[in-house]
Amino acid sequence: MSHLAGRGIADITGEAAECGMLGYGKAGQRTTGIHTRLRARAFAFAEGTGPADRRLMLVVCDLPLISGGLVQEVVRRLPDGWTESNLMITATHTHCGPGGYFHHALYNSNTGGFRPKTYAAIVDGITEAAHAALDDLAPAELALSHGELHGASVNRSRRAFDRNPGHDRAYFPEAVDPHTTLLRITRGGELTGAVHWFPVHNTSMTNNNTLISSDNKGYAAYKWERLDHRTDYLAPGQPDLVTAFAQTNTGDMSPNLNLRPGSGPTDDEYENTRITGTRQQESATALLATAAPLTGPIDHRITHLGLSGTEVGPDFTGDGRAHRTGSPVGGAAALAGAWADGKGFAGFREGRNPVWDALSRRVIYALSPALRDAHAPKALVLPAGPLNRLRPMVQERVPVQLLRIGRLYLIGIPGEVTIVAGLRLRRTVAGIVGADLGEVLVASYSNGYFHYVTTPEEYDAQEYEGGSTLFGRWQLSALCQTAAALATAMRDGRPVRPGTPEPLPTAREHRRRTPSDEPHPGRSYGDVLSFARIGRQVTACFVAAHPANDLRRGDTYLAVERAEGETWTRYADDGDWSTTFRWARTGRGTSTATVTWTVPDGTPPGPYRLRYFGNSTDRGAFTGATEVFVVR
Q: Which residues are catalytic?
A: 254
Which residues neighbour 432 within 8 Å (Cβ) at sequence distance 6 or greater?
484, 487, 488, 491
179/145 Cα distance (integer angstroms) = 11
In our burial notation (b when 16+ CB lie closer than 10 A, e otherwise), range 63-73 reads bbbbbbbbbeb
* Distance from the Cα of residue 396 to its chain's centroid: 20
Q: What are phi and psi of 213, to 5 degrees?
A: -145, 140
Answer whether 152's CB lies under 8 Å from 62's CB. Answer: no
Give residue 466's identity as a one-letter amino acid code: G
Give the chain's radius of gyration (CA, Å).
24
At how many degrees (to 10) do helices 215-222 and 269-287 cross?
Answer: 50
56/89 Cα distance (integer angstroms) = 11
454/416 Cα distance (integer angstroms) = 9
Report which DSSP code applies to 114. B
In this structure, the strands spanning 408-412 and 440-443 are parallel
In this structure, the strands spanning 330-331 and 606-616 are unpaired
398/185 Cα distance (integer angstroms) = 31
Answer whether 500's CB lies under 8 Å from 304's CB. Answer: yes
HEC secondary structure over 572-621:
EECCCCCEEEEEEECCCCCEEEEEEEECCCCCCCEEEEEEEEEEECCCEE
Which of 198, 164, 135 has its CA nearest to residue 9?
135
Q: What are phi and psi of 180, to 5 degrees?
A: -120, 150
Q: What are phi and psi of 348, to 5 degrees?
A: -125, 150
Answer whether 472's CB lies under 8 Å from 375's CB. Answer: yes
121/102 Cα distance (integer angstroms) = 13
209/219 Cα distance (integer angstroms) = 16
Report which DSSP code applies to 483. H
Helix (H) or strand (E) run with residue 397 in it: strand 397-405
Strand segments, DSSP code E, in 257-382 are 292-293, 298-306, 311-312, 323-324, 330-331, 380-382
524/150 Cα distance (integer angstroms) = 53
- 430: helix, strand or coil: helix
Which of 37, 40, 36 has its CA nearest to residue 9?
40
- Which alpha helices (DSSP H) does 469-577 contain, by range? 475-492
User: What are the Cα distances from residue 534, in Å, to 440, 467, 517, 580, 597?
Assistant: 51, 48, 31, 16, 11
Helix (H) or strand (E) run with residue 367 in it: helix 365-367
Answer whether 463's CB lies under 8 Å from 476's CB. Answer: no
- 296: helix, strand or coil: coil
Answer whether 212's CB lies under 8 Å from 95's CB. Answer: no
